[in-house]
Structure 1
Amino acid sequence: MTAPVIEAPRSPARPARKGVNWEKWGWIYMRVSGVLLLVLIFGHLFVNLLTGDGVDQIDFGFVGGKLATPFWQWWDVAMLWLALIHGGNGMRTLVNDYATHRTSRRILKGAIFAAVAVLIILGTLVVFTFDPCPAGSPADLLPSFCPAS
């Protein structure tokens, strides 16, 4: 009498697919972007809330002065991109876990992708095209760091 053959636990039910393992790279992205976001967010909070006059210093002129500096532009864009892609990837994971029909899953993931893409494009445009000193504005409405027109 031969013993029954028991397959090894966690053996794949079907052969592994060839190509890029997007779930693995999504998982890695979540960990790496989470750590980077912690650094970016706490740096942002430290500069905005703890240096200078604290929260009292935040006004249009403060934000305009920060966004006039390429360092802070890239800091904010990195924070924006990482946070939106991180959140979109998390929502994609939830849709994969809870959406039962293929059609609804595709529609939801398409909506998530579209929302993330639109917000990234608009946010990046705002950061890089923001002009706190628009030409032709009355001098009394401009921040103190703008040259008088």
Structure 2
Amino acid sequence: MTADTLAAPRSPQVRKKGANLEKWGWVYMRASGVLLVVLIFGHLFVNLMLGEGIKGIDFAFVAGKFASPFWQWWDVLMLWLALIHGANGMRTIVNDYVTNATARKVLVWALWLSAGLLILLGTLVVFTFDPCLGVTADSMLWETCQG
């Protein structure tokens, strides 16, 4: 039997030793999907339903949320789960449709590299956000940042 043919449905399957990464990827997609639904709807509810709704979302609103460790971790968890979930989904699509092994490997590496870079940058933004950075005397935030 060649690599291009499928085994008979009831034939015994030989599995490689070690961790079954495809199984854990499948489990991750289900678990992260459920958690993302909770995180995203919580995010939307707080941002759009409480307070003034969409009219209340401005720089001060974001600065106030990022001043709280609870909301920092909420947003970072949402960011991490969403990016890893999306990259894993794209990896599955690449594995399904890209037949050239070298191209598949390059694309999967590019996916994980870009997801990792976005996770790193997004995490840095959330935890190092300073609304007073670069504020000058002619800014609306000058008085707030002086206190």
Q: Is the 8 A contact 2:47 2:57 kept in 1?
A: yes
Q: Report the residue type matching 2:59 in the other structure.
A: F
**Which is higher, the Rg of structure 1 or of structure 2?**
1
> Structure 1, residues 5-55: CA drift from partner, whole Å, max 9, x if none?
xx9833345x21100000000000000000000000000000000001111
Q: Which position in structure 1 is the counterpart of 2:141?
A: 142
Q: Which position in structure 1 is the counterpart of 2:113?
A: 114
Show structure 1 runs of 5+ residues with no match. 1-6
Q: Report the residue type matching 2:125 in the other structure.
A: V
Identity of aligned residues (%): 62
TM superposition shift of 1:135: 6.6
Q: Which moved more, 1:129-138 or 1:80-89?
A: 129-138
Q: Which position in structure 1 is the counterpart of 2:15?
A: 16
Q: Is the 8 A contact 1:60 1:143 kept in 2?
A: no
Provide the aligned C-alpha RMSD in A: 2.0
Q: Is the 8 A contact 1:139 1:148 kept in 2?
A: no
Partners in 2 of 1:63 and 1:108 — Cα distance? 35
TM superposition shift of 1:139: 6.2
Where does 1:43-82 land on structure 2 (aligned, <5 Å)? 43-82=42-81
Q: Report the residue type matching 1:19 in the other structure.
A: G
* 1:140 match: secondary structure: coil
* TM-score where L is the length of structure 1: 0.87
* TM-score where L is the length of structure 2: 0.88
Partners in 1 of 2:104 and 2:113 — Cα distance? 14
Partners in 1 of 2:142 and 2:9 — Cα distance? 67
Where does 1:123-134 land on structure 2 (aligned, <5 Å)? 123-134=122-133
Cα distance, 1:143–1:106 mapped onto 2, change above 3 Å: farther
> Structure 1, residues 64-98: CA drift from partner, whole Å, max 9, x if none?
10001100000000000000000000000001000
Count residues in correspondence.
141
Show structure 2 runs of 5+ residues with no match. 1-6
Q: Report the residue type matching 1:125 in the other structure.
A: L
